[in-house]
Amino acid sequence: MKALEKKILEEGSILPGGIIKVNSFLNQNIDVGFLMEMGKEIASIYSKEKIDKILTIESSGIAIAVAAAMQMGVPVLFAKKHKPSNIPGKVLTAPIHSYTHNNDYTAVVSADFLKEGERVLLVDDFLANGAALEGLIEIVNQAKAVVVGAAIAIEKGFQDGGKRIRAKGIRVESLAIVESMTDDSVIFK
């Protein structure tokens, strides 16, 4: 999506350590009109697939998941990063290591909201090392649901997450793929 690449170059910033900061339009301060365009693009990419539900992880993936779900007419389910006391009954869980925050957490979804046989699209804002997506895949597998694919806003193609997920036979479609970056430039695939 050329418009996303342009937005990253014009409004994003690069931090040391290979971090792309897009909180001016996607992660904290949300450009809702642009977000809806991203949702339309995801819906278009997956228009030939039957999708029952979108699954993401809190918190930055929620906005883009909602934009895509609105275009597709399906509900959004998001995994919490810790089991709160108000989720009774059976839960589906997966351990995830956050490279950005350098910590481990357990993603949690109530089993009431993810049913056997449901066709699930995974949506997230970034794909780098793939740990979050792998955790979501594990949760879908525990529910005996089906991963239709993954839609990502920004993929760091120079890291191995996308390659690992695709090697599992899962379709991954990213709106922008960063091929390489330095502390002051970004090259898109």
Average model confidence (pLDDT) for the chain? 93
Higher-pLDDT residue of 17 and 27 is: 27
- pLDDT given for residue 85 in this prediction: 67
Higher-pLDDT residue of 86 and 165 is: 165
pLDDT above 80: residue 101: no
- pLDDT given for residue 81 in this prediction: 87
pLDDT per residue over 121-171, tens digit each? 999 999 999 999 999 999 999 999 999 999 999 999 999 999 999 999 999
> What is the distance between the alpha carbons of residues 153 and 59, in angstroms, rounded to a whole number?
14
- pLDDT given for residue 131 in this prediction: 94
- Note the pTM of the prediction, 2 decimals: 0.94
Burial class (CB in 10 A: 0-12, 13-18, 19+), 117: exposed
For the record, the structure tokens of 60 come out as 């930055």
- pLDDT given for residue 18 in this prediction: 79
Task: Return the CATH number at 64.
Answer: 3.40.50.2020
Q: What is the residue range of 170's domain?
A: 2-188
Residue 16: pLDDT band with limits 50, 70, 90: confident
Q: 181 vs 148, 157, 161, CA distance in Å? A: 30, 10, 16
- pLDDT given for residue 71 in this prediction: 97
Say if CB 79 and CB 111 are below 8 A apart: no
Say if CB 114 and CB 78 are below 8 A apart: no
Q: What's at 120, amino acid-wise?
A: V
> What is the distance between the alpha carbons of residues 137 and 87, in angstroms, rounded to a whole number?
20
pLDDT per residue over 46-84, tens digit each? 999 999 999 999 888 999 999 999 999 999 999 998 766
How many domains would you assign to the chain?
1
Higher-pLDDT residue of 16 and 163 is: 163
Q: 58 vs 41, 101, 183, CA distance in Å? A: 21, 14, 28
Higher-pLDDT residue of 77 and 15 is: 77
Phi then psi for residue 10, to 5 deg, are -85, -35
